[in-house]
Structure 1
Amino acid sequence: MAASINNSNRLSLAMERTGQWVFSQNIPTDVLVEVGEATFNLHKFMLVAKSNYIRKLILESNEPDLTRIDLSDIPGGPEIFEKAAKFCYGVNFEITIHNVAALRCAAEYLQMTDKYCDGNLAGRTEDFLSQVALSSLSGALVVLKSCEDLLPMAEELNIVKRCVDLATAKACNEANFPSRSPPNWWTEELSILDVSSFEKLVAAMKSRGAKSLTLASAIVTYAERSLRDLVRDHSGNGIRSLHSDDSDARVRQRDLLESIVALMPAEKAVFPINFLCCLLRTAIFLRAAAGCKVELEKRVSAILEHVTVEDLVVLSVTYNGERLFDLESVRRIVSGVRGEGEERGGVQRRRFQGGVFDGDA
């Protein structure tokens, strides 16, 4: 409800601001532009001067005097359309790394290109992208993050690829030649992305020949940030905090965990043992796919000489808080038998209370 109220307030403020600079023209408005729930009273001649799309809508309309235009599909919604309209009116506004991708997509949607009018919005946003936003790792990542809500147009305009190329080049350079402390600061920057964008970066880093340790560093930080309560909390409190009615959250976290594990480089000895055990415990709790759990068991088994008894007590917690010990998982890790228990009917879990397994002597 609060989010809905905030959105309504933002739309009201946008329309109020727009009204102030439109009506200052002292010329009656002649077109109502609808963008979702927001409406903007504007002048056709001002919009047509910059937007070839709106010009064609008006010329090709069956109505002799088109007075209402629906632009609800415009990338970025009402807030970005407001800025595009301001551009048509010659009103100043700030282009930032947070809005430049949406403005570039909106300019393409509205056909506000230099081909139609010199110095148009598309050209201005392209200049900002190349000269400002894509001059640093942080800038490229913020733009890439904003593109997650602008697909597929952001990909069609090559914005996503440019961000990925720039970000991976700078991340690989930072990994090899750190420019500040701590040396792995760049891995924290990557954690703002959703997993699909992170996958693109990791794939591009692999293509650039990034070392397995470099990729592992990025994946560890990303997992600890995106699955914070489950992976960073070795006590199990994070698992206990995820209640039985959080089924949607569990599904999202399971999908995220499986995606992270799929990104791991082939070399198995590049991840810390406690991190792998935490991931395995999380996979057991979230009921991840068998392949995900087996992959983690293989990685733990590959560095068995570094495993302590405490590491092997891979605990899971049921939805009512009962502690379970995944005995078959431990057996596969110790014996090096990869996944045979999965083929024979699933993971056997035994109740673990007070350090004793039910049914064991």
Structure 2
Amino acid sequence: MAAKTLEKNDRNWVVHSTTASDLIVQVGGSSFHLHKLPMVSRSGYLSRLVFERSNGGRDSSVKIQIDNLPGGAKAFESVVRFCYGWKVDLTSSNIAPLYCAAHFLEMGDDLEQGNLISKSEAFMSFLIFSSWKDTFRILNSCEAISLWAKELQILKRCSESIALKACTNLKDFGSGDDGANCLPEKLKVEEGADNWWFEDVSFLRIDHFIEVIQSMKTKGMNPVLVGSCMAHWTTKWLSKITFELDTPNRKNMAHQLQRVTTESLIRVLPTEENSVTCNFLLQLLKVGLVMQINSALLEGLDQRIAFMLEQCRVPDLLVKNHGGDDSVYDVGIISRVVEAYASLASSNLGPKILAVGRLVDGYLTQVARDEKLEVKSFQSLAKALPKDARYCDDNLYRAIDMFLKAHPNTTEEERESLCKFLEYHRLSKEAREHVMKNNRVPLKIATRFILLEQVNMMRSKTTSGVGSSFQRTKSQAILRANRKSLEKKWLKSQKEIKKMTKEVETMKAQLNDLQMCKLKLLKQLKICNV
């Protein structure tokens, strides 16, 4: 058949030939006016449909509708050119759709040796094996034909090729043209970097990225590198999404995609210890909470982060909020994981919990300066750990004082709710003195500290007196070994005990007087406020 050219007229493709067209193939919105002989001789699918619809008449024209051809009209145009024996330009961008279309149309070697399936297979295998860039182009071309690409193993082959190259030392690629073509140009700058492939992989769509990550884990890549790659990809992905913090629309396609993406990332996280950072996991947890992902995945993240807190530093906990009216950092999510840690550690409070206590107090100090941070958020995190998690409360007091300083408009009730965590005997002498002089501390708390300080001073004096008497009596006993002196010492101690009892009663009376004064002061303050 002397077919000359294939021309496009609007949405109609027409083969110019000396023979009239006897086959019309409708692909999507495009019509191809073709000839039966060259098409059915290479396509089992078309041959079967033409035979069914021709009703035995060779000269009757047949019309075929194809709605689900991989690659659509563009891929079918290349198929037509191949069937008519014309040159087909195979590239990394069209080879995957063409390979899938050839399988759909059943263009195997059983119909004709060197048919389109084998031709496209050979070219695609060459690209995947030899070229790093072309492998990514093939993956990108599979986005519109994901089901076919997955079924025909294109995604798996590309992912394994990328994983193999990423796991290979750069020096092993050689210096020739073929070796240089395997890798991206940026590698010429820094050949020693283990993460040279991060940037290229970060542009992959989530399903293709997951395929690559699974292939890398199968190849035995260092879990830390896998975790770092996932964090790099997630950072780029997070910058493109919008958090609908108030009322996320579950029916929204974008929301559904973000939810599936988050769940997919969590499921393929490397499980090895220290393979991913605490901050990365916190970012995933935050997104997961917003997207309302599977509760089991959230619980697993909570526990994994909780186990990491003992080795964390304050910067690891800094997760920013995305709303304009929110505090700079998300304190609520830290409260969540700290509560999970406290629950896990409740049965075994070892010395490591002190490290978590220092971490939480350091974090509170860091976020206390934020003017938008609410009292409830600060208070929730401050009480998330048991008292045994702190050796003393000096750091907690420092954080509370910084919060009060940055929030001068807090009410007396709010300040009291914050300062109720402070206990006199859990603060150092310097911290207690600061509390008593601090005008930001509520009057009730400052008064209590002053009274306790007086009690403590009286006890110290009494203890000192008893101790001196005891030392003198002991010396006399050693020197004289006299029973009479021991009796005198006992009588003297009894007198001192009675004296101390009277002093305690006097102090109680003084405390009552101070309490009455405090009540009067509070009444006066209320009258002034009115």
Contact 2:210 2:268 in 1 (8 A): yes
Taking the TM superposition and a 5 Å limit, the aligned residue runs for 1:68-87 are 68-87=63-82
Partners of 1:189 and 1:195 in 2: CA distance = 13
1:41 aligns with 2:61: no
Partners of 1:336 and 1:212 lie apart in 2 by: 29
Structure 1 distance, partners of 2:170, 2:211, is 18
1:269–1:302 CA contact under 8 A, matched in 2: no
Aligned partners of 1:242, 1:81: CA distance in 2, in Å?
47
Q: 1:199 maps to what in 2?
A: 210
Contact 2:128/2:158, CA 8 A, preserved across alignment: no
Which residue matches 2:104? Answer: 109
Deviation at 1:77, TM superposition (A): 1.0
Distance verdict in 2 for CA 1:104–1:207, change over 3 Å: same
Unaligned runs of 5+ in 1: 1-12, 231-237, 339-351
TM normalised by structure 1 equals: 0.76
Superposition deviation, residue 194 in structure 1: 2.9
Judging changes above 3 Å, is the alpha-carbon distance between structure 1 residues 331 and 271 closer, same or farther for their aligned structure 2 residues?
same
Matched residue SS, 2:42: coil
CA distance in 1: counterparts of 2:8 and 2:232, whole angstroms:
38
Alignment match of 1:187 (pick from 182, 198, 204): 198
> Partner of 1:269: helix, strand, or coil?
coil
For the pair 1:335 / 2:342, whether they are aligned, the reply is yes
Other-structure match for 2:374: 356
Q: How far off is 1:160 after superposition?
A: 3.2
Residues 14 and 196 of structure 1: is their aligned pair in 2 closer, same or farther, counting only changes over 3 Å?
A: farther
**Deviation (angstroms), 1:17:** 9.0
SS of the counterpart of 1:256?
helix
- Determine which structure has greater relative contact order: mean sequence separation of CA pairs < 8 Å that are 6+ residues apart, divided by chain length: 1
- Mapped to 2, the partners of 1:239 and 1:157 lie a distance apart of 36
8 Å Cα contact 2:259-2:288 kept in structure 1 = yes
Secondary structure of 1:270's match? coil
- Equivalence for 1:263: 268
Identify the residue that residue 3 of structure 1 maps to in structure 2: none
1:1-361 alignment runs, 5 A limit: 16=10, 19=13, 22-23=15-16, 25-61=17-53, 63=55, 64=57, 65-173=60-168, 180=187, 181=190, 183-229=194-240, 239=243, 247-304=252-309, 307-309=312-314, 311-312=316-317, 314=319, 316=321, 321-322=325-326, 325-326=331-332, 328-332=335-339, 335=342, 337=344, 354-358=372-376, 360-361=417-418
TM-score normalised by structure 2 residue count: 0.54
Name the residue aligned to 2:509.
Answer: none
Following the alignment from structure 2 to structure 1, what is the Cα–Cα distance between the partners of residues 303 and 249?
32
Quote how far apart the aligned CAs of 1:76 are.
1.1
- For 1:226, the aligned partner's letter is W
CA contact (8 A) 1:164 1:201 kept: yes
Contact 1:14 1:79 (8 Å CA) reproduced = no
Task: Between 101-110 and 126-135, report the one with greater CA deviation.
Answer: 126-135
What is the Cα deviation at residue 223 of structure 1?
1.3
Residue 91 and residue 229 in structure 1: after superposition, are their counterparts in 2 closer, same or farther (change >3 A)? same
Check whether the contact 2:75–2:97 (CA below 8 A) recurs between aligned residues.
yes
C-alpha distance in 1 between matches for 2:286 and 2:169: 32
User: Paired residues, what number?
Assistant: 327
Q: CA deviation at 1:266?
A: 1.0
Q: Which structure's CA Rg is the greater one?
A: 2
Conserved? CA contact 1:315–1:325, under 8 Å: no
Moved more, 114-123 or 82-91: 114-123
TM superposition shift of 1:321: 4.8
Q: What's the secondary structure of 2:64's corresponding residue? A: strand
Three-state SS of the structure 1 residue aligned to 2:269 is coil
Aligned CA-pair RMSD: 3.5
Residue by residue over 1:175-195, the C-alpha shift from the partner in whole angstroms, topping out at 9 and shown as x without a partner, is 897972354231222233333
Quote the residue 2:498 is aligned against.
none
The percent of aligned pairs where both chains have the same amino acid is 28
- Tell me how far apart the structure 1 counterparts of residues 268 and 27 of structure 2 sit (CA, whole Å): 39
Equivalent position SS for 2:344: coil
